[in-house]
């Protein structure tokens, strides 16, 4: 789902950087070309603006096509044909300009820079943000309505931490117990990933209860009382929570047999937890 807060922050920084560029470009070609610091400043702010633009593009591409990229997304966004011709040309020209800056090792001629940057500004400065806002509005209208108005991006991040911890714990548990108990790394990492899973589960719990405007002394019991998770899951999570500090304290001895048993039982507990909160939030089996 779209993270509108993230997009707003990036769009604001993008617009701010372009505004600084425009203030210089508006001084005219003669003053720009004859003032050495102007091309340097424009180069600097254009690179900042492009970095923000690329992050916006990557986030949009993920939502539109499902592709997960962390950079070099502007061309992909243009290929979706969702912006006007003017904005699309501006995005393409911006990509070419940014590539040329690095290819020339920051020795772009002032005369050529002025023309290129002015064209980019003419196409993007007054148009990109408004078209982006309209696009976001359209994409948001297609998103499922959440039963609980959580910050889904942050909940997903914590849920992924739980899933990742479970996956790593399963690797350690896949070894014969005799080998498990004799390997200090297995023991240490199992304790660590149990703590991570508990902490992330607790973060999700507190976040959901805040969104429900509910206050309970015991978080997991609160989720049960609100109908988000089963009592069995709440009781199992409370048991793991009670062990959390001992697991995190390397000076606290936990017998290998007890750790192995706790870790083995925790797998289903955490998997059930993720499924149950997912159903409560968006009515799906996976978060």
Q: What is the pLDDT of residues 129-185, one digit of tens each?
A: 999 999 998 888 776 777 888 888 889 899 999 999 999 999 999 999 999 999 999
Could you give the CA distance from residue 186 to residue 168 in angstroms, rounded to a whole number?
A: 10
pTM above 0.85, yes or no: no
What value does the mean pLDDT take over residues 23-49? 95
What value does the mean pLDDT take over residues 193-215? 96
Average pLDDT, the chain: 93
Q: Model confidence at 285, in pLDDT bands (50, 70, 90)?
A: very low
Q: Are 89 and 18 in contact (CB under 8 A)?
A: no
- pLDDT at residue 3, rounded to an integer: 83
Could you give the CA distance from residue 53 to residue 95 in angstroms, rounded to a whole number?
A: 10
Range from 44-53, 85-94, 107-116, 140-149 carrying the lowest mean pLDDT? 140-149
Q: What percent of the chain has pLDDT above 90?
A: 81
For the chain, give the longest Cα–Cα distance: 79
Per-residue tokens: 88: 């699309």
Q: Model confidence at 93, in pLDDT bands (50, 70, 90)?
A: very high
Listed as own residue / partner, the contacts of 167-171 with beta carbons closer than 8 Å and 24 or more positions apart are: 168/193, 169/193, 169/194, 169/197, 169/263, 169/266, 169/267, 170/267
According to CATH, the superfamily of the domain at 152-282 is: bsu32300-like (1.20.120.580)
Q: Model confidence at 284, in pLDDT bands (50, 70, 90)?
A: low
Start-to-end C-alpha separation, the chain: 11
pLDDT digits (tens, 9 = 90+) for 15-24: 999 999 999 9
- pLDDT at residue 282, rounded to an integer: 77
Q: 133 to each of 48, 137, 174, 200, 205, how far by Cα in Å?
A: 21, 6, 49, 33, 32
Range from 108-117, 224-233, 238-247 carrying the lowest mean pLDDT? 108-117
Asked if the model's pLDDT at residue 283 lies above 80, the reply is: no
- pLDDT at residue 286, rounded to an integer: 44
Crossing angle of helices 128-141 and 37-65, in 10° steps, is 20
Q: Model confidence at 241, in pLDDT bands (50, 70, 90)?
A: very high
């Amino acid at each position: 789902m779209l993270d509108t807060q993230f997009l707003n922050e990036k769009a604001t920084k993008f617009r701010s950087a372009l505004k600084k560029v425009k203030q210089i470009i508006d001084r005219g070609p003669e003053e720009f070309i004859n003032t050495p610091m102007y091309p340097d400043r424009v180069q600097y702010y254009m690179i900042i603006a492009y970095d923000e633009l690329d992050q916006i593009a990557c986030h949009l591409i993920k939502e539109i096509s499902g592709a997960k990229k962390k950079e070099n997304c502007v061309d992909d966004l243009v290929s979706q044909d969702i912006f006007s011709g003017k904005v699309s040309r501006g995005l393409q020209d911006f990509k070419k300009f940014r590539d040329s800056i690095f290819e020339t090792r920051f020795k772009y001629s002032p005369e050529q820079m002025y023309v290129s940057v002015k064209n980019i500004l003419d196409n993007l400065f007054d148009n990109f943000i408004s078209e982006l806002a309209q696009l976001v509005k359209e994409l948001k209208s297609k998103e499922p309505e959440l039963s609980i108005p959580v910050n889904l991006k942050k909940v997903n991040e914590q849920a992924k931490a739980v899933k990742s911890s479970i996956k790593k714990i399963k690797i350690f548990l896949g070894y014969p117990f005799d080998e498990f108990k004799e390997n200090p790394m297995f023991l240490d990492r199992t304790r660590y990933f149990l703590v991570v899973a508990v902490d992330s589960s607790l973060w999700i719990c507190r976040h959901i209860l805040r969104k429900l405007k509910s206050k309970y002394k015991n978080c997991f019991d609160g989720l049960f009382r609100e109908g988000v998770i089963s009592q069995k899951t709440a009781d199992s999570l409370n048991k793991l929570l009670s062990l959390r500090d001992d697991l995190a304290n390397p000076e606290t001895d936990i017998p290998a047999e007890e750790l192995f048993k706790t870790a083995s039982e925790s797998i289903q507990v955490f998997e059930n937890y993720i499924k149950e909160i997912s159903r409560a939030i968006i009515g799906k089996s996976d978060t």
